[in-house]
Amino acid sequence: MKEISARSLRRVGVFGTRFVIDSALFGMAEGVEVVQPRSDEVDYIHRTYSELAQKGEGSEVQYRGLTNLAQTFCERDRVDAILLAGTDLALLFNETNIEFPYIDCAALHLQAIMRAVFDGNPVSPAATSK
């Protein structure tokens, strides 16, 4: 959520599984409105994400489809950026080929983990009950 604040984003969209898109997780960022895609768009994003996860590779059709949807979403709904909220989206997108404003949530998590490890403060696992 720090990245959203650092970039002064006010309206964001989310690409990931249906569960992630429909959850209120990203709506917890103060001062940020999470704009929901239309139901047919959620279906398309979820279906594409599921295909990526199952096959382990992406296609030009998938890349172009999600890129076009992201651009439409940004223009139509005045979204400041798309949150790429799933590791499998890296099968399609990277910092050299992305054509819309975005935040790569998986990359931010990896950076935080690496910082913690190299600073000597490893991330501790969740507490377990006895």
Q: What is the pLDDT of residues 51-69, one digit of tens each?
A: 999 999 999 999 999 999 9
117: its two tokens: 């490890």
Phi and psi at residue 52, in whole multiples of 5°?
Answer: -60, -45
Evaluate whether the domain defined by 2-118 bears CATH number 3.40.50.1860: yes
The arithmetic mean of pLDDT across residues 70-88, rounded, is 95
103 pLDDT above the threshold of 80: yes
Helix (H, G, I), strand (E, B) or coil at 20: helix
Residue with tokens 């950026």: 81
pTM: 0.81
Could you give the strand order of the β-sheet that contains 11-15, starting from the edge strand earlier in sequence? 33-34, 11-15, 81-84, 102-104
Dihedral (CA of 55, 23, 43, 38) sign: negative
At 8-28, the pLDDT tens digits run 788 999 999 999 888 866 556
- Boundaries of every domain in the chain: 2-118
Identity of the highest mean pLDDT range in 32-36, 64-68, 85-89: 64-68
3-state class of 80 per DSSP? Answer: coil
